[in-house]
Structure 1
Amino acid sequence: MEKYKTYNQSYLITDDYYLKEFGNLFDIGKLIRHTLYVSGEHDKYLQREINVKLIKQDQTWVITQYYIKQHQLPKLNDQIWVRTRVIDANRFFITRYFDVYTEQDLLYEVYTQYTVIDLNSRKMVRMNVDPLEHNQLIDTEFTAAFNRFVKPDSFDYYLTTEKVIHENDIDYNNHVNNLVYLNWAFSSLPEDLVKNYSIDTIEVKYGKELRRDNQVMIESFGSKQDDNHIETYQIIKDKDNGKDACYVRIQWQQEEKKL
């Protein structure tokens, strides 16, 4: 069953992978879209080849958190591969590991935790992970890298911004698409930070789902770790009731030259 443990897809890095409005910041959102696609194709592959089916027709995957480690930026015209494997599974959560690489270099590592909800009740449901265990499809060599989110006690700056939810921000579940939160996070940070520092790690944890009629407020905290490193911590919340919808923590390191 070893050959079924992983699944990969290749992509060509083109000019639209770089966000001009953020000083040619690499589009992490596009990379995450690739991981979502590859995980879905892996599910289909397992069902087609060995009849392993994890969710029912009236159920859907929901992402609860991410951990993204950036090792090296891809270059224009690079051919990259996105590979996935399941590294942990229980009745309520499945964790996948993705490595993103060229023929020579490891570019990114992405850990993604999923749960399953019923589309009618919108409640979390239990999964039957026995087929994964029976077919030895869980790669236990990897350990999830998720950390606890704690609001910083002290910080060097504090900003608040508001965002408007647009129609194209809404996904097929009638909630804000999870990648929109990342775009909101980047656009709410100081411009000189985003343009003069590179990303080391990104951590994202989702809370209350936002709908199209919600008002969005973002609290951004920044702490200087040393002369070359800054940590930002952001809380994206429903402004009306104050409930937290998403937490984003990014470790930044200063770089000498941007792409």
Structure 2
Amino acid sequence: MKAAQAGFAVELFKFATCRPLWMLPLLTIGLTWALTYLSGLSEIAATGGDLAGSSAADNPLLYSAHPLPVEYQGFDMMNIGVVLMVALGALYAGSEYGTGLIRSSLIADPHRLRLFATRAALLGTVIGATAVLAMGVGTVIRHLALGDQGLSPLAFPPLVWRNLAGVALVWTTLGLLAYGLGVLARNPILPLVLIMPLVVGLGDFFATLWQPARYLPPAAGAALFGPLDASHLAPGSGALVMTAWAVGGLVLAGLVFSRRDV
């Protein structure tokens, strides 16, 4: 236990002293807060302060057929964070290989599986905390921007909390999957090439054309933070599939990391 705690403290120090790594969570939080507030003001302006009564048929300023239901307001900004958290996972995996620091890490902790698990645990903790802070406060900011059309931050319904948990799960699982792929490739390029196109919309597009594509990340978790439709999995199934992707990638990467030369 003491060895694991010491290893976590060392990895946390390394993370905190690597500027690109700690800047990504801060950038995610700042962008989410700012754009969530501005988007809320824009939606109020576009609908004339009537979210429920507006549609694209009578309001050309709306981008979608109808404004988002009020319980989902704010979660439309989650894609900003998911892109940056995938980048964080890929960078965290590949940074030590690019600098050769992985050899020093293995000298400090020669137990490879423990080192791998410690790094994954730290990454998951950072991403989860970033998601809760960025989207939790961001959701409050959105509803404050909506004014009378928004929900009271002191009385959010359970669906809002479920959406927040869903965002945290999607960000964390995708970040860990990117980390696992980065360890397998020993560089950040492979996870960015494989995951980023799915994150920016290709996965959702495939899901509308081919039913098995619903199981691709992050399309599998779309209902965890947005309204359910026929082209996506139910929230419970999506959570299981997203977790399975992350666990599968980490198990494979951990086994390879424990056996190969660095």
Work out whether the TM-score is over 0.5: no
Higher-strand-fraction structure: 1
TM-score, normalised by the number of residues in structure 2 = 0.28
| Greater Rg over alpha carbons, structure | 2
Choose between structure 1 and 2 for higher RCO, CA contacts under 8 A separated by at least 6 residues. Answer: 2
